[in-house]
Amino acid sequence: MAEGHDAVEVIVTKRSKGALSDEQIDWVVDAYTRGVVADEQMSALAMAILLNGMDRREISRWTAAMIASGERMDFASLSRPTADKHSTGGVGDKITLPLAPLVAACGVAVPQLSGRGLGHTGGTLDKLESIPGWRADLSYDEMMSQLESVGAVICAAGSSLAPADKKLYALRDVTGTVEAIALIASSIMSKKIAEGTGALVLDVKVGSGAFMKDLDDARELAQTMADLGSEAGVTTVALLTDMSTPLGLTAGNALEVRESVEVLAGGGPEDVVELTLALAREMLTAAGHDDVDPADKLTDGSAMGVWRRMIAAQGGDVDADLPVAQETQVVVAPSSGVLTRLDALAVGMAAWRLGAGRARKEDPVQAGAGVVLHAKPGDSVRAGEPLMTLHSDDQERFPRAEQSLEDAFDIKAKPSSTDQPRDLILARIT
Ligand code: URA
């Protein structure tokens, strides 16, 4: 296809609810990566895709074009099978931290290429960067040698992996075009397929704190990603999991590292342990290695051993004190009863406003900022007792954080049967 004027033709095809041809997709993804298609043209196309969708053929081709925009990695030379996990992002979602060393302790290598947080969902790299000395940027050789020696690596995806997605994701983030199933599925799967993992387990979040607010949309996203993975020869399974309330009792970088270490020490909040074990079992089965019970590796110290080696291999001081915020403020329960709702998005927004997240890619994050919950849905609370503690280095951030928590919870003196906490794992998709 000739360069230049054709971007308009591609936009108009999708604006008119047409299907993009393979040639149009290959051209527009490549031309955008090279800077021939301008940001404003890709924004218009992304919005047309958000409004009018893409069919399965278009999504597969779009994913393949994004993979072809960069390099592919290959773990075939490793002595053990590989499995990776990807979460669509949620509040308090620190599962990667205990999961990667746990699965490695069971004999499957985990190459976890992660990102930084944007908006109210935290990023795995931001959390780990709260450990003094830890570094996210590894060369390909460092990553391969750590995978062989330690079995787990969590690091930043290099710029050569699906560069089309890097550019497009940043654009979608500022043009209101993130929440398109076709674009989310192709974005996630292009990176995972290019990364070269043998097996992939997807944690597709559903609820207020997730991109997908309802179960049907989440199911469609999960099925689309599972099909893309299988087509590319990656054994892919998805769990749909609840994100109407935060995971665990913490949202914020160092706070979440501390909670993850509790899980690795055989303790930690029930929901974090349940999801970590469920995802570990799926990863082990998908990698053909289901003869080990991961629960044993949390209690016998072997997952903790891998965590320590993994952090140390990337320069982290695993015994150093984690950063603590300079200021705290307690939010108390206004009445007595049962906490029947605690909204994930509101808590995520509060943590973000306290300094745990960033508004722009280049913003710094506060390592110690965030929210600690003292009760979860289903727990009894008493008027005047602490419900949450807010942490920040800046006192002036508290009022805005409190504002986002104003309608964040319900306390009922007499809860009804419909007020029961939701199941954590909602469905499994292959
Ligand atoms: N995570 C991604 O990597 N891409 C998306 O589009 C959404 C979440």
| Residue 165 bears catalytic tag | yes
Mean pLDDT of 209-226: 94
pLDDT in tens, 151-204: 999 999 888 899 999 999 889 988 889 889 999 999 999 999 999 999 999 999
Reported as a pLDDT band with limits 50, 70 and 90, residue 310 is very high
How far away, in angstroms, is 191 Cα from ligand 1 center? 10
Mean pLDDT of 28-40: 97
How far away, in angstroms, is 34 Cα from ligand 1 center? 21
Number of residues assigned to the chain: 430
pLDDT for residue 4 is more than 70: no
pLDDT in tens, 258-286: 999 999 999 999 999 999 999 999 999 99
- Average pLDDT of the chain, as a whole number: 94
Ligand 1 site, CB within 6 A:
88-89, 169, 178, 183-184, 187-188
Q: What per-residue confidence (pLDDT) applies to 358? A: 82
**Atom 7 of ligand 1, nearest CA residue:** 184
Q: Which atom of ligand 1 lies at the shortest distance from residue 184's CA? A: 6
CA distance 20 to 13: 7
pLDDT for residue 362 is more than 80: no
Q: What per-residue confidence (pLDDT) applies to 256? A: 98
Lowest-pLDDT range of 97-101, 354-358, 376-380: 354-358
278-297 per-residue burial string, b: 16 or more CB within 10 A, e: under 16: bbbbbbbebbebeebebeeb
How far away, in angstroms, is 169 Cα from ligand 1 center? 7
Q: Which atom of ligand 1 lies at the shortest distance from residue 191's CA? A: 3
Mean pLDDT of 12-38: 97
How far away, in angstroms, is 162 Cα from ligand 1 center? 12
By most ligand atoms within 8 Å of CB, the mutation choice from 124, 187, 190 for ligand 1 is: 187
Mean pLDDT of 211-236: 95
CA distance 172 to 186: 13
Q: What per-residue confidence (pLDDT) applies to 120? A: 66
**Atom 3 of ligand 1, nearest CA residue:** 188
Using an 8 Å Cβ cutoff, are 237 and 282 in contact? yes
Q: Which atom of ligand 1 lies at the shortest distance from residue 89's CA? A: 8
Q: What per-residue confidence (pLDDT) applies to 5? A: 53
Active-site annotation holder among 14, 85, 172, 397: 172
| Residue 317 bears catalytic tag | no
pLDDT in tens, 63-117: 999 999 999 999 989 999 999 999 998 999 999 999 999 999 999 999 999 877 6
How do strand 370-373 and strand 250-251 relate by DSSP bridges?
Answer: antiparallel
| Residue 14 bears catalytic tag | no
Residue predicted with more confidence, 123 or 149: 149
Residues of the chain above pLDDT 70, percent: 97
How far away, in angstroms, is 50 Cα from ligand 1 center? 14
By most ligand atoms within 8 Å of CB, the mutation choice from 211, 221, 224 for ligand 1 is: 211
> Quick check: pTM over 0.85?
yes
Reported as a pLDDT band with limits 50, 70 and 90, residue 119 is low
Q: What per-residue confidence (pLDDT) applies to 104? A: 98
Domains and CATH numbers, the chain: 6-53 (1.20.970.10), 83-313 (3.40.1030.10), 327-419 (3.90.1170.30)
| Residue 187 bears catalytic tag | yes
